[in-house]
Amino acid sequence: MADPGNDEVEIGVLLAGGSARRAGVDKRFLVLGGRALLLRNLAFLRGFFPTVAVSLGAGQVLDLGDARDAEVVHDAWPGASPLAGIASALARYRRPVFALAADIAFPDGEAIRRVLAAFPGHDLALPAIGPENHQPLFAVYGPACLAPMTALLEAGRHRIVEILSSLDAAEVRFPDDSLFHNINTMDDYQEARRRASTGGDAPATDTQPALVAIVGKSDSGKTTLIEKVVPELVKLGLRVGTVKHDAHSFEIDHPGKDSWRHGQAGAHAYAIASPERLAFITKLDGEMPLADIARRFFAGFDLVVAEGYKRTAPHRIELFRVGAGHADPLCDPGEAIALVTDAELSHEHAFGLEDGAGLARFLAVRLDSLREY
């Protein structure tokens, strides 16, 4: 039986030890409602607990991006299972913990309040749907759970529900499991996106998009890098726009065309519209800053990736390629938030030339900070 004096739950643990690539991508980085799933659920836990931790497998490294205040708890047992994650958190804190699966799409505030309210006086509390269906990855576990969990893990068994028969569990009844729906496949993810867009969970339309620029010396391969990272960002569910900086004048409309004649007649701005595309052309008295372009033309986008703007972009990723014949990077130390390179250069966030997927994940967990400009 739980210690009545040790019932207050102040620790929320996000179980994020598995990349779960059944969805074809690392689903922890899928973006829903303008934020990576990993960060959405950490923010949810922060709303209830003063201490928030991320559970990872032994030796596992995970980029938490903007979630800088989350503690990390590595499994003390092999297997990277939820059971190992919960047991490791109990062993570390010796206090009750609320455990949440990282892939739950829409954790519910009222549901967690009901589970927390049921815990005092018990060893654990968890949702129950019907006589057999429990939700052990949206549950409170007290210190009394550690001994039976350890016994299971040392026997090589990882099913959490096996501890229920030996403990005093408070079962919180729910009519169905809709509140605990997790994302296992891309179909699950697309359904979650539809639900987010119709249920008020989409990003506010007045929120400016995240903004980053790929910079580097001439012939470094900036366009090629953008061609690698944009598809990976799209796989993670981001709506992406791009901006190409041209230091010289250019003509996008063809002289003699009707639309070009509109401009020649004196229109300061004109658009060419078809069922599939829209081009907006305006005359400028001076170069428009990149931040203004992002705000004005990419409202509703998750991320704008610019090519160029090496001195004025608020957030820069440098591409430095020895193969292009350059001896030194363009940016001074500390200027670029990441470095993509084929050289042996030191940077906290360094990526290989072909690692578009890694760079996309890096950006997906930094959307909040990249919106600051």
pLDDT digits (tens, 9 = 90+) for 260-312: 889 889 899 999 999 998 999 998 989 999 999 999 999 999 999 999 999 89
Give the residue-averaged pLDDT of 113-127.
Answer: 97
Q: Is the pLDDT of residue 94 over 90?
A: yes
Retrieve residue 218's tokens. 């001439």
Q: What are phi and psi of 210, to 5 degrees?
A: -65, 150
4-198, superfamily in CATH? Answer: Spore Coat Polysaccharide Biosynthesis Protein SpsA; Chain A (3.90.550.10)
Q: Which pLDDT band, with edges at 50, 70 and 90, does 118 fall under?
A: very high
Taking alpha carbons only, the member of 70, 98, 80 closest to residue 365 is 70
The pLDDT, as a whole number, for residue 4 is 40
Instruction: Look at the alpha carbons of 294, 231, 201, 98 in this order and tell me if their dihedral is positive or negative.
Output: negative
Q: Give the confidence band of 326 by pLDDT, cuts at 50, 70, 90.
A: confident
pTM: 0.89
β-bridge mates for residue 354, sequence order: none
Say whether pLDDT at 76 is over 60. Answer: yes
What residue has token string 């007649």? 265
Share the mean pLDDT of the chain. 91
CATH 3.40.140.10 fits 210-370, yes or no: no
Average pLDDT over residues 63-87: 93
The token pair that represents 64 in the structure block? 């938490």
Tell me which residue has tokens 């981001």.
238
Q: Which residue has the tokens 């408070």?
A: 170
Instruction: Report d(CA 184, CA 336) in Å as an integer.
Output: 35
Q: Domain locations in the chain?
A: 4-198, 210-370
**Residue 191 tokens, joined:** 């359904």
The residue type of 312 is T
Q: How confident is the model at residue 41 (pLDDT cuts 50, 70, 90)?
A: very high
Half-sphere exposure of 89 (CA within 13 A, CB side): 34
Instruction: Give residue-wise pLDDT tens across range 335-349.
Output: 999 999 999 898 999
Q: What is the pLDDT of residues 144-178, one digit of tens each?
A: 999 999 999 999 999 999 999 999 999 999 999 98
C-alpha–C-alpha distance, residues 331 and 215, integer Å: 9
Beta strand extents in the chain (DSSP E only): 11-15, 31-32, 35-36, 51-56, 71-74, 97-101, 124-129, 133-134, 138-141, 169-173, 210-215, 240-244, 269-273, 278-282, 303-307, 316-320, 338-341, 350-351
